[in-house]
């Protein structure tokens, strides 16, 4: 299938939802040889599965700047772990605060601020979350101070 797509690369391919967990070296090399429209999209929704090694292996063949990783926050997750790993690997995140099917859950201010910071690539690359100021007179360092952490130990990423 990949060889066939490689031969048909006159038209750029739009890839959403590449499963990095099952990607092998041959597939990563073939993926890199395709003409790709936009970015290659992967997802790291479940923080219980550490995809760091899988993404690192993928970035040996595909430039990290060509990869965007969807990150679900606010559902069974821990503060910023996945974002720190993506930043170390040079992969851009796209943070999506969790909403349930009937929209009875609204994202917290923390989740919205985290998404605002991480989804602006220039901010994500040049500053840490604690330095980000999403509103006048407020810094996200408030979320990571010991006082805040003692009140709320899990910020749901």
Is residue 156, in this structure, part of any structural domain at all?
Answer: no
Question: What whole-number percentage of the chain has pLDDT above 90?
Answer: 41
Which pLDDT band, with edges at 50, 70 and 90, does 148 fall under?
Answer: very low
pLDDT, tens digit (0-9, with 9 covering 90-100), for 5-44: 555 556 766 777 889 999 888 888 888 888 878 888 999 9
List the structure tokens of 98. Answer: 């969790």
pLDDT, tens digit (0-9, with 9 covering 90-100), for 79-115: 678 998 999 999 999 999 888 888 788 888 999 999 9
Which of 21-25, 55-59, 63-67, 72-76 is the least confident region? 72-76
Whether 11 and 33 have beta carbons less than 8 Å apart is answered as: no
- Range 130-133 contact pairs with CB under 8 angstroms and sequence separation of 24 or more: none
Is residue 157, in this structure, part of any structural domain at all?
Answer: no
Query: Which residue range forms the structural domain that includes residue 50?
Result: 2-151
pTM of the model: 0.79
**Cα–Cα distances in angstroms (integers) from residue 5 to residues 32, 37, 57, 94, 98, in the given order:** 12, 13, 22, 27, 34
| pLDDT at residue 141 greater than cutoff 60 | yes
What Rg, from alpha-carbon coordinates, does the chain have?
17
- Rounded Cα gap, residues 97 and 5, in angstroms: 34
**What is the number of domains present in the chain?**
1
Whether 144 and 117 have beta carbons less than 8 Å apart is answered as: no
Is residue 134, in this structure, part of any structural domain at all?
Answer: yes
């Amino acid at each position: 299938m990949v060889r066939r797509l490689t031969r048909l690369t006159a038209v750029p391919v739009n890839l959403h939802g590449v499963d990095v967990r099952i990607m092998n070296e041959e597939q990563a090399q073939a993926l890199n040889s395709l003409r790709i429209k936009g970015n290659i999209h992967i997802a790291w929704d479940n923080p219980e599965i550490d995809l760091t090694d899988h993404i690192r292996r993928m970035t040996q063949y595909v430039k990290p700047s060509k990869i965007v990783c969807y990150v679900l926050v606010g559902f069974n997750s821990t503060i910023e772990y996945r974002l720190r790993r993506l930043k170390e690997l040079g992969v851009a995140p796209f943070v999506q605060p969790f909403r349930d099917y009937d929209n009875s859950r609204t994202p917290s201010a923390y989740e919205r601020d985290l998404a605002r910071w991480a989804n602006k690539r220039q901010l994500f690359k040049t500053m840490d979350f604690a330095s980000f100021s999403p509103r006048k007179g407020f810094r996200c360092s408030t979320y990571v101070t010991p006082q805040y952490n003692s009140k709320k130990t899990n910020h749901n990423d």
